[in-house]
Amino acid sequence: MIIQLKDNLSETEKLAIKKKITELGYQSTEVKTQKKNYLICIGKNEVDIRMFGQLKGVADVHRVNEDYKLVSRKWKVSDTTIDLGDGIKINNGAKTIMAGPCSVESEDQIRDMVSVLKKNGVGIIRGGVFKPRSSPYSFQGHGLEALKRFHAVARETGMKIITEVMQVSQVEQMYPYVDIFQVGARNSQNFNLLSVLGEVDKPVLIKRGISGSIDELLQSAEYVFSSGNERLILCERGIRTYEKAYRNTLDLNAVPILKEKTHLPVIVDPSHGIGIRRFVEPMSLAAIAAGADGLMLEIHREPENALSDGFQSLNFEEFEALVNKVKLLYSLL
Task: Identify which of residues 63 and 301 has a Cβ nearer to its own copies in the complex.
Answer: 63
Query: What minimum distance in Å lies between the beta carbon of 237 and its own copies?
Result: 12
Q: What are phi and psi of 61, to 5 degrees?
A: -135, 140
Query: What minimum distance in Å lies between the beta carbon of 158 and its own copies?
Result: 31
Task: Identify which of residues 55 and 329 has a Cβ nearer to its own copies in the complex.
Answer: 329
Distance CA 297, CA 102 (A): 9
Task: Identify which of residues 191 and 311 has a Cβ nearer to its own copies in the complex.
Answer: 191
Task: Identify which of residues 154 and 295 has a Cβ nearer to its own copies in the complex.
Answer: 295
Q: Which residues contact 193 (CB under 8 A, 6 or more apart)?
A: 165, 166, 167, 168, 171, 183, 187
Residue 179: which of 284, 98, 254, 273 has the closest Cα?
A: 98
Q: How far is CA 90 from the centre of its chain?
A: 10
Query: What minimum distance in Å lies between the beta carbon of 87 and its own copies?
Result: 28
Query: What minimum distance in Å lies between the beta carbon of 46 and its own copies?
Result: 19
Angle at 132 between CA 267 and CA 300, to 5 degrees: 60
Q: Is 309 left (phi over 0), alpha (psi -120 to 50) or beta?
A: left
Are the CB atoms for 111 and 127 separated by under 8 Å?
Answer: no
Query: What minimum distance in Å lies between the beta carbon of 156 and its own copies?
Result: 31
Task: Identify which of residues 74 and 301 has a Cβ nearer to its own copies in the complex.
Answer: 74
Query: What minimum distance in Å lies between the beta carbon of 255 and its own copies?
Result: 7
Please tell me the number of Cα atoms within 13 Å of 71 on its side-chain side. Answer: 32
Task: Identify which of residues 113 and 288 has a Cβ nearer to its own copies in the complex.
Answer: 288
Please tell me the number of Cα atoms within 13 Å of 100 on its side-chain side. Answer: 27
Are the CB atoms for 10 and 57 separated by under 8 Å?
Answer: yes
